[in-house]
Amino acid sequence: MVATDSSGVAVRCAGRIGVVASVAMNLAFLAMYINRHYFGKRRSNDGTSSSKEITTTVEPSKGKPPVTQDSVVNLDQGDPALYKEFWDGTGDRATIVIPVWQTMSYFSDLSGFCWFVEPGFEREVRRLHRLVGNAISDGYHLLVGTGSTQLFQAALYALSPTENGTPMSVVSLAPYYSSYPSVTNFLNSGLYRWDGDANTFTGDKCIELVCSPNNPDGGIRKAVIKSKSTKTIHDFAYYWPQYTPIIEAAGHDIMLFTVSKCTGHAGTRLGWALVKDTEVAQKMIKFMELNTIGVSKDSQLRAAKILKVVCDDYELSPIGKVNHLFHFAQRKMAERWSRLRAVVATSGIFSLPDELSSYCMFAKENVTANPPFAWLRCHKDGVDDFEGFLREHKIITRGGTKFGVDERVVRVSMLDTDEAFNVFIGRVASLK
């Protein structure tokens, strides 16, 4: 099924990607898929059957149920299923083996700045930033979190004054990520309080959340509040070459990243923060100690291994870069966006934000942005609740009001499986 769909895409985009290579690769994936899933054996790099390994390999988790032509397609969350195809093709190189006696302690490195950061994870993250060039990491403290969501809360905690009785205002330009208000407010903290759209903020002191490329609409964002006492948190979950041209190595006070949207390993629940100020970083560590006494070492070890393979691929085999992670994902995203823009253009009732393109310092060429979410607007008369309209057509999306704007726009994940994306495209094409 993976092969069928990608081949279909390849034919449509024949000018941009090599059809022969693509079909061959897809056939190889298909063979591997069948071998793995139906015969329950994996082959090691030397081609010999690795039966020892299978006995210790974990049971696959169930994940989401598969999509069929008639089923509901859930594109509400940004589950990064798109990446599985890539990792299916990498063999055992990024497989992790953790002996039972290893990393049992709470402590990763008592001599480091942050006792719960695994040194190997930190090393690979800094290496990745040097490779991609999306952020300055030299001179920054690196912290790890259970997803960047936890680090977001750690940053709110660190940036809010504890003495004053008034909660710090937290704002972001609409449309803003739908989780910002709920995550900021769910504990009814006296330290900070969601205060809505940054454009309507009239106070003199706040924390501004800057998500760029922006979730949900893919816009390239800068802080909009100019007051000197405003503090910023830059959410760079999507500032990776597959989604957007890398236009600069960012160097803001607090920058958040996540493995989920970089390599597709959402289930590892691993994010990291680059933090300039030592005192702020120490307060964030304090939050992490109180909230969860550190972060899963197993996830850190796994992520370190995965990021190492990503970096190794580019640094040791630059000649084959079109097959490496960011190039693979960029191609997949471009294919999907191309198909979506085509059906939207012919629909007559939908629209998307304008296509952005720019010189990418990583790709070393002009590239078009392929945001992780489609911010789809409906112009059809009588459709006031677009999310509800799509739900009637068995497409689950997230409506504009959750992002601080109107109901005639929805956010649609572009990162789901080929199957789900195909069904989505087919249904959108049928709506006039």
CB of 87 to its own copies, least distance (A): 4
Other CB atoms within a 10 A radius of the CB of residue 173 amount to 22
Is residue 267 within the footprint of its own copies (CB under 8 A)?
Answer: yes
Q: Distance between CA 84 and CA 264 in Å, rounded?
A: 7
Q: Which residues 6+ apart lie within 8 Å of 201 measured at CB? A: 169, 171, 195, 225
Q: Distance between CA 194 and CA 61 in Å, rounded?
A: 36
Residue with tokens 């006995």: 55
Closer of 64 and 341 to its own copies (Cβ): 64
Q: Distance between CA 20 and CA 226 in Å, rounded?
A: 53
Structure tokens belonging to residue 374: 């489609």
CB of 314 to its own copies, least distance (A): 17
Closer of 39 and 101 to its own copies (Cβ): 101
CB of 260 to its own copies, least distance (A): 8
Give DSSP secondary structure letters for 332-373.
HHHHHHHHHHHHHHHHSSEE-PPP-EEEETTTTEEEE---SE
Is residue 183 within the footprint of its own copies (CB under 8 A)?
Answer: yes
CB of 187 to its own copies, least distance (A): 4
Three-class secondary structure of residue 398 per DSSP: strand
Is residue 5 within the footprint of its own copies (CB under 8 A)?
Answer: no
Is residue 187 within the footprint of its own copies (CB under 8 A)?
Answer: yes
CB of 168 to its own copies, least distance (A): 11
CB of 127 to its own copies, least distance (A): 14
CB of 210 to its own copies, least distance (A): 21
Closer of 20 and 316 to its own copies (Cβ): 316
CB of 44 to its own copies, least distance (A): 7
Work out whether strand 254-258 and strand 270-275 pair parallel, antiparallel, or are unpaired.
Answer: antiparallel
- Identify residues 123-182 at the interface with its own copies (CB under 8 A): 146-147, 149-150, 153, 157, 162, 179, 182
Closer of 339 and 411 to its own copies (Cβ): 411
Is residue 265 within the footprint of its own copies (CB under 8 A)?
Answer: yes
Is residue 3 within the footprint of its own copies (CB under 8 A)?
Answer: no
In order of 87, 173, 268, 366, the CA distances from 180 in angstroms are 31, 11, 21, 32
Is residue 270 within the footprint of its own copies (CB under 8 A)?
Answer: yes
Size of interface with its own copies, in residues (CB under 8 A):
89
CB of 342 to its own copies, least distance (A): 28
- Alpha-helical (H) ranges within 198-249 are none
- Identify residues 334-373 at the interface with its own copies (CB under 8 A): none
- Identify residues 190-219 at the interface with its own copies (CB under 8 A): 190-191
- Identify residues 99-128 at the interface with its own copies (CB under 8 A): 99-111, 118-120
- Identify residues 281-310 at the interface with its own copies (CB under 8 A): 286-287, 290-299, 301-302, 304-306, 309
Closer of 77 and 357 to its own copies (Cβ): 77
- Identify residues 224-263 at the interface with its own copies (CB under 8 A): 260
Q: Distance between CA 121 and CA 108 in Å, rounded?
A: 10
Q: Distance between CA 154 and CA 99 in Å, rounded?
A: 31
- Identify residues 34-73 at the interface with its own copies (CB under 8 A): 42, 44, 50, 52-53, 56-65
In order of 79, 124, 256, 257, the CA distances from 240 in angstroms are 16, 16, 12, 10
Closest to 125 in 3D by CA, of 326, 307, 267, 284? 307
